[in-house]
Chain A
Amino acid sequence: MGSHSIADKVAIVSMGCTKFGEHWDKSLDDLIVDACFQAFNEIEINKDAIDAFWLGTAQSGMSGITLARPLQISNKPVTRVENYCTSGSEALRAACYAVASGAYDIAMAVGAEKVKDSGYQGLNAFPIPGDGTQRTLTAAAMFSMVAPAYCNKYGVSLDEMSQVLAHISVKNHANGARNPRAQFQKEITPEIVLGSPRVAGTLGVFDCAGVADGAACAIVVRAQDAFQYTDKPIFIKSLSFAAGSGSGLIDPNYDYTHFPECEKAANDAYNQAGITDPRSQLMMAEVHDCFTPTELVLMEDLGFAPRGSAWKEVLGGTFDLDGELPINPDGGLKSFGHPVGASGLRMMFECWLQLRGQALESRQIVSDRKLAMTHNLGGYPGEMVSFVSIVGKELTA
């Protein structure tokens, strides 16, 4: 296999993240400036210190100019990347590879999205001229097909499934209630989830990620240079990516109870980082909980629970903040909303805080584990891209 680890070659030395929410009073440029200057100021560097930039945004702007103009970066390599909802993670991946290759000394990954200016509900794809036969379903509808398929395969009743999905929603909102950057900072009850208006299939409003504007960023350098910038850098242990061929949409063997792209990306990431038992080795994981059934299935795809058992683990509290493996301790997409290009770096921001012991005390995970994970997906069941990263607070001896 041609995938090689860049473990311990690159470190994140500073990060920034705006509050996520309906920023009616902030433009995309404002969000970018706010996030980036958090990161610059934290390590007291000037933007001119950065050698190369990558901006992940799905549809808030085109080209590197979308970043270069608001930051007034003159004549440097600035590139916009897009890969569905993993756009922010792709910016980080590019910046890390650039540093690992030796091409640049210091690089920056920025993810930003202005969603709330569209005037429509939910996320809406930029229309590309076509033959008119493409599906126009919402993401909620595409992911809603997972829940009944999972129930059918593993003999879970629809009532039990409602409780499982409600637990995921309640847990993520509880975590978000302990995070001043989250869009929603209120705890909710299972009754609120179950009583919310239906959006698609059995999914209600509280099964869906919110819709928010936001930006986040990371500055990366060679690992050996990291301590020049901070006492507590975090180190890249693995970066993996898998794009599906879309065959799940045409292959009758695909059963909508798992996401092969995510499983593939996770296994690659574990190999790169030398992880053999993620459930016992990871301190936490930020996963792409765009809808509650997505998080459920990911617990199995990412190797945190055997196939067909994640629903019991969810109910048992395994993935709660005080559970065996806290999932989405920052509140996840559920509490943060999903400014598409920013989400991947927002997930990394939580790893940054947790590994450095800087999360709010009410949600800081106390653990002797030293690794954290982000998982980011884009697309739909059957036709998906998936990103996984592992970061650690120490260099491997």
Chain B
Amino acid sequence: MRGIIRYSSYLPHWKLPREEIRTFFGTGGGSGTRSVAGHDEDTTTMAVEALRPLLYKTQPSNSATSQSPKSSDWHSYVGAVDDVYFSTTNPAYLDKTNASAIHCALSLDTHCGSYDLCGGLRSGIGTLKLALTSTSHNPVLVAISDIRNGLPTSSDESLGGDGACGFLIGEESDNNPVLAELLGSYSISDEFLDRWREPSSSTGKTWEERFGEFRYLEIGTQAFDFACKKFELTPDKIDRLITTGMHTRAVAAVVKKLGVGKEQIENDRSTIVGQCGSAHPAIILCAALEKAKPFETIALLHLADGADVMFFRTTKAVETYRPLKPLDIQINSLEAISYSKFLSWRSMVDLEPPKRPEPSRTSSSAAWRSRQWKYSLDASVDRKTSSVHMPPSRISYDSGSIDDMDLISKSNSRGKIATFTIDRLAYSPSPPIIFAIIDFEDGGRFPVELTDCLPEQVGIGMEVEMTFRKLGTADGINNYFWKGRLVT
């Protein structure tokens, strides 16, 4: 049986209260919030964060979280992966494959494909379908990640959202049971212009809303009906229905026509999260799986330049796996930022930078040589003394031995803040820089920038975990590396 073996959603730390937009401009906004990627996140780093939990070789300790699963609930996947598929409407690079950075940050074997399947708002669901219907020998990893922009006061700005999700998809094995299989899918394509974006622009445009509603209402209901007939399902047999699409009015209209009861409809979380573009249907699928019982039928309908219907059937194993950070836990811990911060993070306003030189561009060859450090956060550990060297060193600082070390990744290690500072002068895309000396529980010291926190929240002794981020961009080259994040 082929299906979903692992899944995980990732929401960034921040949210924007939509009413702040109206307070600022006197127009736009609305009620509720939207999720907001940090200034140091892009769709690549969020994809890494979504996929990391699927590959934990050991479960990170969760002393600070009461919601953490028991270790008996946790199964790690340590097997081989054939391919990594990455999908987004907002790729960090064109031409250069973003999935290869994700592959490297996950410390995956180099004998593995990594592919971007990017562009339209339909590409995420297409990628998921491709992975579920492919014939790969070993499982594949799928990351769908999106950051949605809009011009200030637009509905794209207030109703958009940022988020990602990851899946491990493949054939069932003894240690890795399938949690949900794809019963079948049904798709309709329809060439019409509802929304569009030029490749050079971060914000898109939409046609008059009524026309899109007209098209989606027809093809959405049609796809669902045809799918039900094809797979011999009736609406009452569906335990959970997920409907998504950027045309929220059309989605609402279609749902009413499907004959599915209100209690069967999965909340799309858009009131708090917004619509996370091509990632949204799969993020909500994660939320549905988190609560699903064995042998449930989950239907997913996504409206984007056509309609896609997917029917999933959960297995007996679905309850044996629960993500470390369920979506609703993440939603509850989102922290509000000001609209002015949001605008500067999105480059909608340019703030005066510190009077310090901007960092120079990262050397491609130097970055390649140190890829196990830069992307996998590999430290070298002295085989005799166990002293940890970050970055890896050929010669040990305590034993003096040469080339007698093992590489181990510290990306899943946790540590405590030995001391810290707030740098108000150093260059940063979002000053000030919060910087701490981290001593890892399992050995090693790492002086590192902290993210997803405010200066007043940091103190000596606090627990920190690692997160993959973008330190900055110079000459169009993204400088990816790891930062620390407070464990909450």
Interface residues of A (CB under 8 A from B): 118-122, 124, 127, 129-133, 135-138, 140-142, 144-145, 148-149, 152, 198-201, 245, 247, 249-252, 254-256, 382
Contacts of A199 in B (CB 8 A): 424-425
Set B387, B419, B422: member contacting A251, Cβ < 8 A: B387
Contact yes or no, B421 A141, CB < 8 A: yes
Set A130, A137, A149: member contacting B426, Cβ < 8 A: A137
Q: In which size bucket is the chain B interface?
A: 35 or more
The answer, yes or no, to whether B423 is at the interface (CB within 8 Å) is yes
Interface hub of B388, B420, B439, B480 (most chain A Cβ within 10 A): B420
Question: How far, in angstroms, from A136 to B479 measured CA to CA in the complex?
Answer: 13
The answer, yes or no, to whether B56 is at the interface (CB within 8 Å) is no
Chain A residue at smallest Cβ distance from B471: A132
Contact yes or no, B425 A141, CB < 8 A: yes
Using known A-B contacts A131-B366, A249-B447, determine if residue A138 contacts B423 with beta carbons closer than 8 Å.
yes
Contact yes or no, A141 B426, CB < 8 A: yes
Interface residues of B (CB under 8 A from A): 354-357, 359-360, 362-363, 366-367, 369-370, 373-374, 387-391, 397-398, 418-427, 433, 435, 437, 439, 443-447, 460, 471, 479-481
Further contacts, 8 of them, CB under 8 A, given A140-B423, A141-B425, A250-B445: A129-B366, A133-B373, A133-B374, A141-B423, A142-B421, A145-B421, A199-B425, A200-B425
Q: Report the minimum CB–CB distance from A306 to chain B (whole Å).
A: 23
Contact yes or no, B362 A130, CB < 8 A: yes
Set B359, B424, B446: member contacting A136, Cβ < 8 A: B359
Contacts of A130 in B (CB 8 A): 362-363, 366
Contacts of B479 in A (CB 8 A): 132
Question: How far, in angstroms, from A252 to B438 measured CA to CA in the complex?
Answer: 9
17 example contacts (A-B, Cβ-Cβ < 8 A) are as follows A124-B357, A127-B360, A131-B363, A131-B369, A131-B374, A133-B391, A141-B433, A145-B419, A145-B420, A145-B437, A148-B420, A247-B398, A250-B388, A250-B444, A250-B446, A256-B418, A256-B437
Which 4 residue pairs of A and B lie closest in terms of their CB atoms, listed nearest first? Answer: A132-B362, A141-B423, A132-B479, A201-B421
Contacts of A249 in B (CB 8 A): 445, 447
Contacts of B356 in A (CB 8 A): 120-122, 124, 138
Question: How far, in angstroms, from A129 to B202 measured CA to CA in the complex?
Answer: 30
Question: How far, in angstroms, from A118 to B460 measured CA to CA in the complex?
Answer: 36
Chain A residue at smallest Cβ distance from B438: A252
Contacts of A132 in B (CB 8 A): 359, 362-363, 366-367, 374, 471, 479-481
Contact yes or no, A129 B374, CB < 8 A: no
Question: How far, in angstroms, from A137 to B425 measured CA to CA in the complex?
Answer: 8
Contact yes or no, B422 A201, CB < 8 A: yes
By secondary structure, the A interface counts as: loop
Question: How far, in angstroms, from A118 to B370 measured CA to CA in the complex?
Answer: 31
Question: How far, in angstroms, from A246 to B325 measured CA to CA in the complex?
Answer: 37
Contact yes or no, B423 A148, CB < 8 A: no
Q: Report the minimum CB–CB distance from A152 to chain B (whole Å).
A: 7
Set A129, A245, A256: member contacting B363, Cβ < 8 A: A129
Chain A residue at smallest Cβ distance from B387: A251
Contact yes or no, B357 A137, CB < 8 A: no
Question: How far, in angstroms, from A120 to B357 measured CA to CA in the complex?
Answer: 7
Contacts of A255 in B (CB 8 A): 418
Contacts of A124 in B (CB 8 A): 356-357
Contact yes or no, A131 B373, CB < 8 A: yes
Contacts of B357 in A (CB 8 A): 118, 120, 124, 127
Contact yes or no, A200 B423, CB < 8 A: yes
Q: Report the minimum CB–CB distance from A194 to chain B (whole Å).
A: 17
Contacts of B354 in A (CB 8 A): 121
Contact yes or no, B426 A120, CB < 8 A: no
Contacts of A200 in B (CB 8 A): 421-426
Contacts of A152 in B (CB 8 A): 419, 460
Chain A residue at smallest Cβ distance from B359: A136
Using known A-B contacts A131-B374, A137-B435, A252-B445, determine if residue A122 contacts B425 with beta carbons closer than 8 Å.
yes
Q: Report the minimum CB–CB distance from B360 to chain A (whole Å).
A: 4
Contacts of A118 in B (CB 8 A): 357
Contact yes or no, A252 B425, CB < 8 A: no
Question: How far, in angstroms, from A148 to B424 measured CA to CA in the complex?
Answer: 17
Q: Report the minimum CB–CB distance from B436 to chain A (whole Å).
A: 9
Question: How far, in angstroms, from A129 to B354 measured CA to CA in the complex?
Answer: 22
Q: Report the minimum CB–CB distance from B83 to chain A (whole Å).
A: 27
Contacts of B423 in A (CB 8 A): 137-138, 140-141, 200-201
Interface hub of A250, A256, A382 (most chain B Cβ within 10 A): A250
Contacts of B419 in A (CB 8 A): 145, 148-149, 152, 256
Contacts of B425 in A (CB 8 A): 121-122, 138, 140-141, 199-200
Question: How far, in angstroms, from A198 to B391 measured CA to CA in the complex?
Answer: 31
Contact yes or no, A252 B444, CB < 8 A: yes
Question: How far, in angstroms, from A149 to B360 measured CA to CA in the complex?
Answer: 32
Contact yes or no, B366 A138, CB < 8 A: no
Question: How far, in angstroms, from A198 to B471 measured CA to CA in the complex?
Answer: 24
Q: Report the minimum CB–CB distance from A56 to chain B (whole Å).
A: 23
Contacts of B437 in A (CB 8 A): 145, 256
Question: How far, in angstroms, from A242 to B80 measured CA to CA in the complex?
Answer: 49
Contacts of A120 in B (CB 8 A): 355-357
Question: How far, in angstroms, from A247 to B359 measured CA to CA in the complex?
Answer: 25
Contacts of A247 in B (CB 8 A): 397-398
Q: Report the minimum CB–CB distance from A382 to chain B (whole Å).
A: 8
Question: How far, in angstroms, from A122 to B427 measured CA to CA in the complex?
Answer: 12
Chain A residue at smallest Cβ distance from B427: A136
Question: How far, in angstroms, from A4 to B429 measured CA to CA in the complex?
Answer: 50
Contacts of A129 in B (CB 8 A): 360, 363, 366
Interface hub of A118, A121, A138, A245 (most chain B Cβ within 10 A): A138
Interface hub of A137, A140, A152 (most chain B Cβ within 10 A): A137
Q: Report the minimum CB–CB distance from A281 to chain B (whole Å).
A: 34
Set A131, A144, A198, A251: member contacting B397, Cβ < 8 A: A251
Chain B residue at smallest Cβ distance from A149: B419
Chain B residue at smallest Cβ distance from A135: B447
Chain B residue at smallest Cβ distance from A124: B357
Chain A residue at smallest Cβ distance from B367: A131
Q: Report the minimum CB–CB distance from B384 to chain A (whole Å).
A: 16
Contacts of B355 in A (CB 8 A): 119-121
Interface hub of B356, B373, B426, B439 (most chain A Cβ within 10 A): B426
Question: How far, in angstroms, from A104 to B153 measured CA to CA in the complex?
Answer: 75
Interface hub of A132, A138, A144, A254 (most chain B Cβ within 10 A): A132
Chain A residue at smallest Cβ distance from B428: A136
Question: How far, in angstroms, from A142 to B435 measured CA to CA in the complex?
Answer: 9
Question: How far, in angstroms, from A135 to B367 measured CA to CA in the complex?
Answer: 15
Contacts of B439 in A (CB 8 A): 252
Contact yes or no, B426 A144, CB < 8 A: no
Contacts of B444 in A (CB 8 A): 250, 252
Chain A residue at smallest Cβ distance from B482: A133
Chain A residue at smallest Cβ distance from B397: A247
Q: Report the minimum CB–CB distance from A90 to chain B (whole Å).
A: 24
Contacts of A251 in B (CB 8 A): 387, 397-398, 445
Contacts of A198 in B (CB 8 A): 422, 424
Contacts of A250 in B (CB 8 A): 388-390, 397, 444-446
Chain B residue at smallest Cβ distance from A383: B447
Contact yes or no, A144 B421, CB < 8 A: yes
Chain A residue at smallest Cβ distance from B436: A145
